[in-house]
Amino acid sequence: MIRHLLSGADLDADTATQILDTAAEMAAVAGREVKKLPALRGRTVVNLFYEDSTRTRISFEAAAKRLSADVINFSAKGSSVAKGESLKDTALTLQAMGADAVVVRHSASGAPHRLAGWVDGSVINAGDGTHEHPTQALLDAYTMRSRLGRLAGLSVVVVGDVLHSRVARSNVLLLSTLGAKVTLVGPPTLIPVDIAAALAPGTDVCYDLDAVLPSADVVMMLRVQRERMNDSYFPSAREYARRYGLDGARMRRMPGHAIVMHPGPMNRGMEITPEVADSPRSTIVEQVANGVSVRMAVLYLLLGGNNR
Amino acid sequence: MNSYLIRNVSVLGAAPTDLLLRDGVVAEAGPGLSAPGATVVDADGLVALPGLVDLHTHLREPGREDAETVETGSRAAALGGYTAVCAMANTSPVADTAGVVEQVWRLGREAGLVDVQPIGAVTVGLAGERLAELGAMADSAARVRIFSDDGHCVADPRLMRRALEYVKAFDGIIAQHAEEPRLTEGAQMHEGEVSTRLGLTGWPAVAEEAIIARDVLLAEHVGSRLHVCHVSCAGSVEVLRQAKARGVRVTAEVTPHHLLLTDARAETYDPVYKVNPPLRTATDIAALRAALVDGVIDIIATDHAPHAVEDKECEWAYARPGMLGLETALSIALDVLGPEWDLIAERMSRTPARIAGLTEHGHDPAPGAPANLTLVDPAARRVIDPAESASRSRNTPYARMALPGRIVATFLRGEATVLDGKAVK
């Protein structure tokens, strides 16, 4: 098993599948009256969050606690070079406290890579800047597999602000590894240069959402921040919603079995309408539940819970 | 004054000969010289080059003496084979007055290891809003001729035009850091495949090319001299090639790191590879190397940029851009160009001396020439160890790399600044 989980590229097909299979076993625990396993008793997991993300932090915290690990929440919000402790000094502090795993969320791309060079324990990237969010990709893959029964051969359409999306990067890498076909859709200003060459050669780019909906098995909507329009990525929220938002009419052009995903938090009315978000095709609430199981599997496997 | 008899040295790759340095000049040259009382330097196997001249050095003093001082930077320069360096203006306070440039110039004289020629800021505080007192700096003891807001682009086209025009009165030159700031907001590395993969905001080549294109047109319009700092992209080379073909008075430099390292280095997220302009692609490197050989790019300049440990041992986005360069530049040139001694002398000594107006520098070692020269062992290979650097900082991107060539001795006006590969003071 790998030591750190920093990128979707760290996972080969076998490892990713092992994590998804383990997550399925973990999900069974959630159905029990006592939702706890002794696997990581005596191990310490630190949640090091430089950015607010209540949902991701709670998800990791629940996962670690269900495995009986000791959890330390270290909120370093607002920290920067100018104020507060450096990342290296924080790393050395966590190292001295005997952290077995550090779950890190940071606004700077690559911060988890830097951290991994300074601590002995496992580092799990819980979202770094505009780079990656590999456990989100794993929970998305898990959700697709649960709903559609497979990943190989699926046509997955990822829609929105790919340029700034760590979710998109991790999903492209992981889904391609697992044999799905990814198509990225958005205004050209929000699709980064050389994306296929950069991440996975089979990845397609399309600027027309309506063209790809009839053949999609999965449509994953990305959060689009309204402030992007002040940066001239698109003229207005209304125009964005009209061209790239998923509404009921568009949803009905998808095949009957196709699902709609969103990593949350949603901008209802911007990239997704309430009719779609609340429809039976939407997996948004399942994704949250699956997140805990997948993160249990990641912690369990990275910390060698299976060897004890 | 000491005199030195350098025995069996190959001047620019020619057959071995002897050189006698006395009274600050090369007094005699020829085989089998004798000079009683002179210190003998056995230069068997060594190549003599005119002392190197760096048009782009950050010495950090005043203001960031924890990263470098005029003295430590001068020592690093001498150990790299340099006899003159041009000190950039982005100090704290900024070198935008006669007082600051004279201070830097005086510190250089006191260190006495290389000639330190201050560069003056183009605009007050590098703020890009109004001209600094360029004439006062030109008339000062530092006799400033090169002006640059390096680190910042003089982005306002009207201000750039005025600066180019104004310095004609004292044969000045504007050295532009070509970066259209609206195209590089938040930029962290070259915009391309690697930046997309790493999720780091891209610095597109067009931000450099657009400013160079504008500036060569401005320089042409007003008939002034323009120097382009640290050219990093293939597209910029083509803009320069066309401008030179039209007779525009433009010169350009390339750094050693832009000749050797690609943006793939960023995959480590180690900010030792963060630099502005950023490391680019293999295609750009090939174009820059070809331009350096054919003369579209006139010189190699180091952009030696020391930074304190805490400014590099952090997240990529928070790190300061810049790399050390003085002690490794000649090795990179040898690696890239091979033992083309005349070309190396042209690109690293004669032409930069001419651009900077440093008349005592850039002369091949021959009778009557000022004794500013350096001796290189071309057969040596050395593994770069940051801890051995004479710079106060350690941010070399070449750590653990094996590079060809070693500076054995350097002479400034006939006095040794480096002997046996060690600084004499």
The CATH number assigned to the domain holding B409 equals 2.30.40.10
Based on the fold, state whether residues B78 and B131 are members of the same structural domain. Answer: yes
Check if A116 contacts B (Cβ < 8 Å): no
CB atoms within 10 A of CB B1: 9
Q: Which residues of B touch A (CB under 8 A)?
A: 188, 191-202, 268-270, 310, 313-318
Is residue B419 located within the same domain as residue B336?
Answer: no
Residue, of A225 and A216, whose pLDDT is higher: A216
Contact A198 B200 (CB under 8 A): no
Q: Does residue B362 lie within any of the structural domains?
A: no
First to last CA, chain A: 14
From B328, B356, B384, give the residue that closes a domain.
B356
What mean pLDDT is reported for chain A? 93
ipTM of the complex: 0.94
Nearest C-alpha of chain B: how many angstroms from A261?
Answer: 22
Contact flag A114-B316 (C-beta cutoff 8 Å): yes
Residue B129 maps to a domain: yes
Q: What's the rounded mean pLDDT across residues A192-221?
A: 96
Cβ contacts of A113 on chain B, cutoff 8 Å: 268-269
Closest chain A residue to B192, measured at CA = A193
Give the mean model confidence (pLDDT) for residues B63-76: 98
Peptide bond connecting A280 to the previous residue in cis, omega within 30 degrees of 0? no
Give pLDDT, residue B178. Answer: 98
Chain B residue closest in CA terms to A170: B197
**A residues 220..239 contacting B (CB < 8 A):** none
**Closest-approach residue (CA) in chain B for A130:** B199
Q: Is A161 on the interface with B (CB under 8 A)?
A: no
Q: Report yes or no: B101 and B350 within 8 Å, Cβ to Cβ.
A: no
Per cent of chain B over pLDDT 70 is 100
User: How does DSSP classify residue B347?
Assistant: I
Residue A307 pLDDT: 53
- Chain A, chain B: beta-carbon pairs less than 8 Å apart: 74
Q: Which two tokens stand for residue B294?
A: 């054919």
Which of A10, A113, A133, A165 to mutate to probe the B interface, most B CBs <10 Å?
A: A113
Quick check: is B303 catalytic?
yes
CB of B205 closer than 8 Å to CB of B235: yes
Mean predicted confidence (pLDDT) in A27-51: 91
The verdict on whether residue B361 carries a ligand-binding annotation is: no
Q: Is residue B141 part of a domain?
A: yes
DSSP E strands, B236-292: 250-254
Same domain, yes or no: B178 and B305: yes
Please check whether residues B92 and B12 belong to one and the same domain. Answer: no
Model confidence, pTM: 0.95
Residues of chain A above pLDDT 70, percent: 96
A109: nearest CB among B199, B270, B313:
B199
Kindly state whether residue B161 falls inside one of the protein's structural domains: yes
B361 occurs within a structural domain: no
In angstroms, the CA A216 to CA B199 distance is: 27
Mutate to test the interface with B, among A81, A92, A164 (most CBs of B within 10 A): A81
Residues of B in contact with A80 (CB under 8 A): 318
Q: Which domain holds residue B399?
A: 4-47+368-423
Out of A108, A130, A197, closest to residue B315 by CB: A108
Structure confidence at residue A230 as a pLDDT band (50, 70, 90): confident
List A residues 77-96 in contact with B (Cβ-Cβ < 8 A): 80-81, 86-88
Distance from CA of A117 to the nearest CA of B (A): 10
Report whether CATH 3.40.1160.10 matches the domain A8-133+288-307.
no
Run of H or E residues at B100 = helix B98-111
Domain chopping of chain A, boundaries: 8-133+288-307, 134-284
Same domain, B103 and B162: yes
pLDDT (tens digit per residue) in B252-301: 999 999 999 999 999 999 999 999 999 999 999 999 999 999 999 999 99
Fold identical between A8-133+288-307 and A134-284? yes
Check CB contact under 8 Å for A130 and B315.
no
- What pLDDT is stored for residue A32 in this prediction? 87
State the average pLDDT for chain B: 98
The answer to whether A189 and A239 have CB atoms below 8 angstroms apart is no
Note whether B275 and B248 are same-domain residues.
Answer: yes
Q: Is any Cβ of chain B less than 8 angstroms from the Cβ of A195?
A: yes
What's the confidence (pLDDT) of residue A30?
81
Is A223 annotated as ligand-binding?
yes
What residues of B are in contact with residue A172 (Cβ under 8 Å)?
Answer: none
pLDDT digits (tens, 9 = 90+) for A135-151: 999 999 999 999 999 99
Question: What string of DSSP letters covers B177-239?
Answer: ----GGG-TT--EESSHHHHHHT--EE-HHHHHHHHHHHHHHHHHHT--EEE-S---HHHHHH
B316–A197 C-beta distance less than 8 A: no
B264 plus B381 within the same structural domain: no
- Longest Cα separation, chain A: 56
pLDDT at B89: 98
Nearest CA in chain A to B204: A193
Asked whether the predicted pLDDT for residue B418 surpasses 50, the reply is: yes
Chain B residues in contact with A84 by the CB 8 A cut-off are none
The model's pLDDT over B90-142, given as tens digits with 9 standing for 90+, comes to 999 999 999 999 999 999 999 999 999 999 999 999 999 999 999 999 999 99
Catalytic, out of B96, B303, B335, B377 = B303
Task: Tell me which CATH code domain A134-284 carries.
Answer: 3.40.50.1370
Minimal Cβ distance to A193: which of B192, B315, B318: B192
Q: Per the structure, how many domains does chain B have? A: 2
Which CATH number characterizes residue B136's domain?
3.20.20.140
Among residues B326, B356, B386, the one where a domain terminates is B356
Which of A109, A193, A197 is the closest to B316 by Cβ?
A109
In a domain, B383, yes or no: yes
Q: Which residues of A touch B315 (CB under 8 A)?
A: 81, 87, 106, 108, 110-111, 114
Task: Reply yes or no on whether the pLDDT at A82 is more than 70.
Answer: no
B363 in a domain, yes or no? Answer: no
Please give the pLDDT value at position A306: 53
Q: Looking at the partner chain, which of B196, B268, B269 has a beta carbon nearest the beta carbon of A193?
A: B196
Of the three residues B317, B334, B356, the one that is the final residue of a domain is: B356
Full DSSP string of chain A: --S-B--GGG--HHHHHHHHHHHHHHHHHHTSSS----TTTT-EEEEEESS--HHHHHHHHHHHHHTT-EEEEEE-TT--SSSS--HHHHHHHHHHTT-SEEEEEESSTTHHHHHHTT-SSEEEEEEETTTB-HHHHHHHHHHHHHHHS--TT-EEEEES--TT-HHHHHHHHHHHHTT-EEEEES-GGGS-TTHHHHT-TT-EEES-HHHHGGG-SEEEEPP--GGGGGGTSSS-HHHHHHHH-B-HHHHTTS-TT-EEE--S---BTTTB-HHHHTSTTB-HHHHHHHHHHHHHHHHHHHTTGGG-
Calpha distance B120→B88 (Å, rounded): 7
Task: Tell which residue, A176, A172, A175, has the closest CA to residue A184.
Answer: A172
pLDDT, residue A305, reads 60
Residues of B in contact with A197 (CB under 8 A): 193
B303 is in an annotated binding site: yes
A122-128 and A101-106 strand pairing = parallel
**Cβ within 8 Å, pair A86-B317:** no
Could you tell me if B147 and B22 lie in one domain? no
Are residues B116 and B14 both part of a single domain? no
- Please judge whether A198 and B197 are an interchain contact, meaning their C-beta atoms are less than 8 angstroms apart: yes
Asked if pLDDT for residue A76 goes beyond 50, the answer is yes
Of A109, A193, A195, the CB nearest to B198: A109
How close B207 gets to chain A, by Cα (Å)? 16
Q: Which residues of A touch B202 (CB under 8 A)?
A: 192-193
Residue A215: alpha-carbon gap to chain centroid: 24
Contact A193 B193 (CB under 8 A): yes
pLDDT at B78 over 70: yes
Average pLDDT rounded to a whole number, residues A206-229: 93
Q: Do B318 and A166 touch (CB under 8 A)?
A: no
Q: How far apart are CA B361 and CA B260, in angstroms?
A: 27
